[in-house]
Structure 1
Amino acid sequence: MTLLNTFLFVFLLSTPYSHAQQVNGKNHGRNKLPEIGAAGFSALSIDKEQLIGNAMMKHLRASQPIVNDPVLIEYINDLGNRMVRNAQDVHYNFEFFLVNNKELNAFAFFGGHIGIHTGLITTAETESELASVVAHEISHVTQRHLARKMEAQNRNQPLTMAGMISGVLLTLINPTVGMAALSTSMAASQQASINYTRTNEKEADRVGIQLLANSGFDPMGAPNFFSKMAEQYRYKSKPPAMLLTHPLPESRISEARVRAQNFPARQIRASLQFELAKARLKARYEGNAQDNIKRYLIEIEKQRYVYKEAAQYGLAIAYFENENYEKSHEIIKSLLTKDQNNLFYIDLFTDLHIKVKNFPPILERLEKLNLLMPNNQVVALNYANALNEAENYQAAEILLQDFLLVQPNNFIAHDLLTDTYKKQNKMAMMHATKAEVFALLGAYPRAIDELQTGYNYADDKPLVKKRIKARIIQLQEQENKLKRLN
């Protein structure tokens, strides 16, 4: 069995439908670099890489705690794409996503998919430190390290790849378990893999630091973050996940510092958006509401913050989570008077008005914002949610349909539209849209079942039946594409 076939065989065996329902059912540079990004093509074509990457992304949606939070998704994609615009050898659109995990880890895989653990954001002290990790992972993708590693391993040890490939995806997500799986491979092959990985890491450091500088960030963010991680875990028996997949010997830290110092010193103002993202993660995804309220009150009193607005925002979320809606509203209303289009504030403002069922003010504000920022996911999804809660289902339906024309793979939008159709008793369309939710999880049999159920509800709607039948054929073809690769 070839290396690619082995990977696909292992990958296609796992389709965690029941767990999927559990998880998702809730609610320009100075240093010249070698042009080696095109390597790895003989092992894996760009088309196949994208196909496998999309399949892996569906698998992760179904099996990992992906953060389905439009505000944070918007933030991390804005940060990542600022650097992608300055990168070379970009063959496809990138997708950046967050995994709700305090472990310090980040990973890149086929087709421009980059996952960031939430612990990285809350641990980084500056946006340049966070950006350095994202730039590093972008460089792994543009230099096609995974495809090149597969090619080298297949050439050197073709008979030992099954054990190694079976741990690749697991290693990306859970390095402790994944590395244990990989360690069962033959010693010679394992050593070759380690050596190749070290070469990849140096190359990603070199490309990443230049990318960081070219994108307007402080290139010292990379060695600074490296040093903090190495020092923090120097004497710990259990290093963070990121140090297992991205080893940090002293030589690597020194080389990163020397390379960063080749760029002009840059004083960069602290990022409010970064601080708001940290506050949102800490107040909404970590700890409990009452403890978070106390912590933010102390931070504000003792002025232990980079931006007071971010500390106030964290406190407003903590109050909201503790159902102190009046206090939360007082803070967020004040913040909005100074920054009326800030999407972090708009999102919480929407949640507050929905909770107290005061729809006119938020619908008016979101309608204006939707004209100002058409197809922005934070605005569109909040607007649709508010329209649903206000029982204006037809307007919500039209809004979501238009949005999905632009962002057809938006999981939250499909989920919201499913609910919109259900509330209108449009059962054929409800099942058809629910099928898209399952398709985004890679659960093709479940998706096709939903479409067939929808087809049975559409007896008096010949056009709907025709569209559903066409979609069944499309999903069957997508499933068969993966099988043909194997």
Structure 2
Amino acid sequence: MALLHRIIRGIAVRCLAGLTAVSVAAGGIPVPQAKAASLPLIRDNEIEQLLRDYATPLFRAAGLKPEAVQVYIINSDTINAFVAGGQRIFIHTGLLTRAETPNEVIGVLAHETGHIAGGHLSRMQKQLDKASTAAIIGMLVGAATMIGAGLAGQGELARSGQGIMLGGQSLAERNLLSYARAQESAADQAALKYLTATRQSARGMIDLFERLSNESLASSVPVDPYVLSHPMPLDRVRNLEINARKSPYFDAGDSPALKARHAMVQAKLMGFLTSPQRVYQRYPTSDTSAPARYARSIAAFRTGDLRGALAELEPLQRAQPNNPYFWELRGQALLESGKVREAVPALQKAVELMPNQGLVRIMLAQAMLNTNDDRLIEPAIQQLQRAKRYETDSSELHAQLAIAYARRNNIPMADLETAEAALISGDVELAKQKAKRSLAAFKRGTPEWIRANDILNVKVGKD
């Protein structure tokens, strides 16, 4: 039932991208509405850079500006990806950890790029405008019922879900879903075009869809093809493969360097997101490969074994002394283990090796402030100010600035930064309180006064 799960979730997300009154949860994971902040997002320099390297050639092939498209990572073990809220692609960690090759992830990114380039979100909204709200809600509720039944193996309940979807406003629902299937087919064909333009194979995309198709076939729940948002799995794979084999790059493989980065990202995700038991099952101590050491190092420091974490990390750093992500991990392990003074030089090295990454600068500033060394307050503020160039919506950045200014006894600026952090986190009441308190200290018309005044004038929208 995994493919149906993925399919229905995809249409739910795209339907809800422009709405705020309806939400559907599938498999315990909330379907996003308009704001990325409501999702269980994760941030990581290494993973984000890999996805950016995967996607940038595709964006250019599609005529999109790479810097205008944002790629977000959702902490969910399901294989899924979708477009929502304009030029935003959301990738589930399950896709990254279960993809067997970089090319599989690249194929999915090519498909989602096709949705953006084709303007499918805005067009879908026009289709939604033609359908009644009741019809849309009925479709999504029915879809959720089918998903829950399929995952639980309850065929009768799944048929009930289909009944909900097909009852009442069924014509509007079918028209909407038919339109969605056409969008998916168009995105598939666009993906083939972008992959060929970038001299990459579509084999990975086909392999992934085929695996999902096999999982779908393993389900005992019958599915009406006219209530699916995507083409039927076997038809989709067959059509894709026929067209993909026409490309001169169908047999092109991923480079060894790309495969190595893919394996390291998978190890990192397992180290951070799964239990130590699972890490050691997947990467036993007899495995001395770089991904295995990486995963075990992360698992060790997460369980308080700093010595074990550094023991696994040191061979990696000897082999790649200029790998910024190893220095970042060393700094994070030291910082979170209370070794803040030792964390500072490690994070400084990471910043030196990746100067255009804001996340590591925020972590460095946090380590500096945690030393309680007044000489490091100003350098910490400088790091945070530079991080603002790359992290415009980081509540942690503003929270650390608030701490730094408070340590300088600059209470108005501390209040203003607290207000910024609260606003990003969604606590509008606290944001307004702190902004109001800071406003009187700033000269009218200054950047600080304008920031505080803007926060005071924020209107709380209705969900």
Normalised by the size of structure 2, how large is the TM-score?
0.77
SS in 2 for 1:107: strand
**1:304 is matched with which residue?**
none
Please give the residue correspondences for 1:460-471 in structure 2 after superposition, counting only pairs within 5 Å. Answer: 461-463=441-443, 466-471=446-451
Aligned residues with identical type, % of pairs: 21
Superposed CA deviations along residues 21-73 of structure 1, whole A, max 9, x for unmatched, are: xxxxxxxxxxxxxxxxxxxxxxxxxxxxxxxx9x923xx31x32111344433
Task: Provide the secondary structure at the position in 1 that maps to 2:218.
Answer: coil
Other-structure match for 2:34: 56
Aligned residues: 417
- Residue 272 of structure 1 deviates from its aligned partner by 2.0
1:200-230 Cα shifts (integer Å, max 9, x gaps): 0011011112223434543211111100111
What corresponds to 2:273 in structure 1?
285
Q: CA deviation at 1:389?
A: 2.6
RMSD: 3.9
* Equivalent in 86, 94, 101 of residue 126 of structure 1: 101
Does the 8 Å contact 1:333/1:349 carry over to 2? no
Alpha-carbon separation, structure 2, partners of 1:79 and 1:171: 36
> What corresponds to 2:393 in structure 1?
409
What is the rounded CA distance, in whole Å, between the counterparts of 2:142 and 2:389 in structure 1? 35
Taking the TM superposition and a 5 Å limit, the aligned residue runs for 1:126-145 are: 126-145=101-120
Matching residue within 266, 282, 300 for 2:252: 266
Gaps of 5+ in 2: 1-14, 24-31, 149-157
> What is residue 297 of structure 1 aligned with on the other side?
284
**Partner letter of residue 93 of structure 1?**
A
**Helix, strand or coil at the partner of 1:405:** coil
User: What are the residue-to-residue correspondences of 1:50-449 with 2, within 5 Å?
Assistant: 56-57=34-35, 60-61=36-37, 63-89=38-64, 93-155=68-130, 157=131, 160-161=132-133, 164=136, 176=147, 183=165, 186-215=169-198, 217-236=200-219, 246=230, 248-264=232-248, 265-270=251-256, 271-286=259-274, 288-297=275-284, 300=287, 308-355=289-336, 357-358=338-339, 362-391=343-372, 392-422=376-406, 424=408, 426-441=410-425, 443-449=427-433
Give the Å deviation of 1:403. Answer: 1.7
The answer (yes or no) to whether the contact 1:343–1:379 under 8 Å persists in 2 is no
1:222 partner letter = M
Q: In the TM superposition, what whole-angstrom CA distance separates every residue of 1:317-344 from its partner, at most 9, and x where no partner exists?
A: 1111222211210121211122223233
When residues 151 and 176 of structure 1 are mapped into structure 2, their CA distance, relative to the original with a 3 A threshold, is same
Are 1:68 and 1:412, in contact at CA under 8 Å, matched by a contact in 2? no
Name the CA shift for 1:9/1:289 in 2 (closer, same or farther; >3 Å): closer
Deviation at 1:162, TM superposition (A): 5.9
1:11 maps to what in 2? 20
Deviates more, 1:67-76 or 1:134-143: 67-76
- Alpha-carbon distance, 1:145 to partner: 0.6
Give the Cα separation in 2 of the matches to 1:389 and 1:172: 49
Residues 152 and 466 of structure 1: CA distance in aligned 2, closer, same or farther (over 3 Å): same
**Alpha carbons of structure 1 residues 329 and 383: separation in structure 2 relative to 1, 3 Å:** same
CA distance in 2 between counterparts of 1:356 and 1:11 reads 41
The Cα of 1:13 is off from its aligned counterpart by: 9.4
Indicate conservation of the 8 Å contact 1:384/1:400, yes or no: yes
Structure 2 residue matching 1:462: 3-state secondary structure: coil
Partner residue in 1 for 2:151: none
Of 398-407 and 272-281, deviating more is 398-407
For residues 194 and 470 of structure 1, the distance between their equivalents in structure 2, rounded to whole angstroms, comes to 47
Q: SS at the partner of 1:300?
A: coil
Change in 2 beyond 3 A, CA 1:133/1:246: farther
Deviations along 1:232-255, one digit per CA (max 9) or x if unpaired, are: 33213589xxx9764542111011
* Distance change >3 Å, CA 369–CA 254, structure 1 → 2: same
Distance in 2 between the 1:221 and 1:162 partners? 39
Q: Which amino acid aligns with 1:462?
A: F
Counterpart amino acid of residue 56 in structure 1:
A
Contact 1:89 1:143 in 2 (8 A): no
Residue 229 of structure 1: SS of its match in structure 2? helix
State the AA in 1 paired with 2:99: A
* 1:269/1:407 CA distance change after superposition, 3 Å: same
Aligned-residue offset at 1:435: 2.5
**Alpha-carbon separation, structure 2, partners of 1:199 and 1:151:** 15
- Give the Cα–Cα distance (whole angstroms) in 2 for the partners of residues 7 and 268 of structure 1: 35
Aligned equivalents of 1:173 and 1:71: distance in 2?
34
TM-score normalised by L of structure 1: 0.74
Cα displacement (A) at 1:365? 4.5
1:134-186 alpha-carbon deviations (Å, 9 max, x no partner): 2211211111112112223435x4xx146527988x99999948x97994871
Note if contact 1:101-1:118 (Cα within 8 Å) is conserved in structure 2. yes
Cα shift at 1:109: 1.3
Once the two structures are overlaid, the 10-residue window that deviates more, 378-387 or 342-351, is: 378-387
Alignment gaps of 5+ in structure 1: 1-5, 15-52, 302-307
**Displacement, 1:385?**
2.8
From the superposition, tell whether residues 238 and 447 of structure 1 become closer, same or farther in structure 2 (CA, over 3 Å): farther
Closer/same/farther in 2, CA of residues 120 and 276 from structure 1, 3 Å limit = same
Give the residue type in structure 1 aligned to 2:266: K
Q: Helix, strand or coil: the match of 2:237?
A: helix
Give the distance between the partners of 2:297 and 2:17, measured in 1 at CA: 46
Is the 1:299–1:311 Cα contact (8 Å) retained in structure 2?
no
Residues 196 and 247 in structure 2, CA contact (< 8 A), matched pair in contact too: yes
| Whole-angstrom CA distance in 2 between matches of 1:7 and 1:469 | 37
Secondary structure at the residue paired with 1:233? helix
The change in CA–CA distance for 1:145 and 1:216 in structure 2 (over 3 A counts) is same
Once the two structures are superposed, residues 292-331 of structure 1 have per-residue CA deviations (whole angstroms, 9 ceiling, x without a partner) of 2343116717xxxxxx211110111111122221121012
SS in 2 for 1:114: strand
Deviation for aligned residue 1:86: 2.7
- Give the match's secondary structure for 2:183: helix
Which runs of structure 2 are paired with 1:26-65 in the superposition (5 Å)?
Answer: 56-57=34-35, 60-61=36-37, 63-65=38-40
What is the DSSP-based 3-state SS (H/G/I as helix, E as strand, rest coil) of the residue aligned with 1:111? coil
Q: Is the CA contact (8 Å cut-off) linking 1:370 and 1:380 kept in structure 2?
A: yes
Q: Which amino acid aligns with 1:117?
A: H
Higher relative contact order (CA 8 A, sep 6+): 1
* Counterpart residue number, 1:42: none
